[in-house]
Structure 1
């Protein structure tokens, strides 16, 4: 249960995947009147069964979820999914009241974030694009970092709710800015995990004690979240967890597209994206991004 408290509000969460499901748990545990919706009804029913007493109701569609809500949170798959649940015939903006707050945690293009913000402004709805970092562990523990785009008043309206499942809320700038920050985040992760894969294979081929190598290098400039959380699992060839390569490729695609629009070259991100595509081609798209090491042959015994 979250330690954060806020004035109880009517909050609807749309999208109950790994991240959205955890967010909904924290919102409900914080004492808010919770409505849930998932495009696959079975998932919503399972979430409700796994979290007895937290959900006030299961909505029939996004518009129904938004009816009478003070705050609507979305965490779906991509641009098309978001446009459908927000702007579609049965979308959130059909019913979300004037003065209501809309928070999107989906990683999408800055373009759709800006489009939704314009629609929200015309409807007098507070709108925040707030992609996340912190992984599944951060979602479960309520310690996510949120990179927020939107007006000052929108961020402040959303903050009391977002505090129930995050430990850091950063207002990056105007609408779409949160998505740009998330793209920068994913560019960093991609280069980091690719370099870590090479370091692990290098140390293994040298027949070094992998724990000693980690101990030696993790306290200096080479240290990273990826090293602390993936060094041992990469050494053990364990990848059935974490952030899927399919999702990382979606995110890198957004980054590369935005980069082309800005006239910015992203050669490392483009190269690592190709490496990920090789793992996808062998059926590994649902594996953690650290599975990038599988494209590097293992020499000798570690």
Structure 2
């Protein structure tokens, strides 16, 4: 597991855990659980990815979610969307069918608040607890074990999960009842969308004006314009490099969830809706898998 910032793990009692979904986020997150000496069983829809994980980390794999979660104290999950989440949680081979009573299910998928509430209700019927816990920090945050995790659910379930989840987190925070974690992630993505568009326009303007934009960013990055995006993506935006980080396809999925929720709750998101369409333009340019900072491509 690539890491530029070796993780120091908090001392906590080893627990028997499962991790469902070994994508670019789940693979290293599950790895940190193993490195923190928890007893980890993994499941992935593609068995080859699960085999790769067990080749790199101490732990085992299972062919179905139901088998992976058997006997576990905590089950973690990170998959693609609402439907993917339902597919690993519900049904005869889903996680709920195999979890013992009292188990805590922690879902790190960025999904809708509705599916979080739905699965929380299903979990309660089965005698288990559900925490919606989407993350921020991207692939680098997952690899370095420094994710920010926004949680919704019951205090008791949160308190059970937190010491274990700190293996891959730098902050793991309860923000309210079921669905609150997903709503907070929507706030996060709304804020990022407008910020990246503003940074794109600023850099494109400065380049058109003939400025040395690396020098300009060094200067304004020490003032009120400073942001994580400027510090970490400014120079690569100038260089036209977009082969890392969070993909445009994923951002459009997240913004779609936020825009749908805004229709429900009456919030007005004019800038978010506009930036979502700008990302559609980037997709039309073939940038589906480019980093979200590729918004600047539209302006060149």
Deviation at 1:195, TM superposition (A): 0.8
Aligned to 1:284: 287
Give the number of aligned pairs: 294
SS at 1:156's partner residue?
Answer: helix
1:14 matched to 2:20: yes
SS at 1:11's partner residue?
Answer: strand
Give the whole-Å Cα distance in 2 for the aligned partners of 1:88 and 1:112.
15
TM-score by length of 2: 0.96
Give the whole-Å Cα distance in 1 for the aligned partners of 2:244 and 2:217.
21
Give the whole-Å Cα distance in 2 for the aligned partners of 1:169 and 1:251.
20
Query: Which deviations, in whole Å up to 9, do the C-alpha atoms of 1:109-152 show, x marking residues without a partner?
Result: 00000011111122221211000001111111111110000011
Aligned to 2:3: none
Deviation at 1:200, TM superposition (A): 0.8
Aligned to 1:300: none
5 Å-filtered alignment, 1:1-302, equals 1-49=7-55, 51-52=56-57, 54-55=58-59, 57-297=60-300
Query: Which deviations, in whole Å up to 9, do the C-alpha atoms of 1:241-293 show, x marking residues without a partner?
Result: 11000000000000000000001111100000000001112221111001111
Contact 2:104 2:130 in 1 (8 A): yes
TM-score by length of 1: 0.95
Give the whole-Å Cα distance in 2 for the aligned partners of 1:2 and 1:14.
24
Runs of 4+ in 1 over 6 A off after TM superposition: none
Give the whole-Å Cα distance in 2 for the aligned partners of 1:249 and 1:211.
29
Compare 213-222 and 147-156 and name the one that shifted more. Answer: 213-222
Contact 2:104 2:160 in 1 (8 A): yes
Contact 2:214 2:238 in 1 (8 A): no
Q: CA RMSD of the aligned region, Å? A: 1.0
Contact 1:113 1:175 in 2 (8 A): yes
Give the whole-Å Cα distance in 1 for the aligned partners of 2:284 and 2:215.
34
Give the whole-Å Cα distance in 1 for the aligned partners of 2:48 and 2:244.
22
Any unmatched runs of 5+ in structure 2? 1-6
Give the whole-Å Cα distance in 2 for the aligned partners of 1:162 and 1:34.
13
SS at 1:179's partner residue?
Answer: helix
Give the whole-Å Cα distance in 2 for the aligned partners of 1:161 and 1:125.
17
Contact 1:186 1:251 in 2 (8 A): yes
Give the whole-Å Cα distance in 2 for the aligned partners of 1:107 and 1:265.
21
Deviation at 1:88, TM superposition (A): 2.4
Any unmatched runs of 5+ in structure 1? 298-302
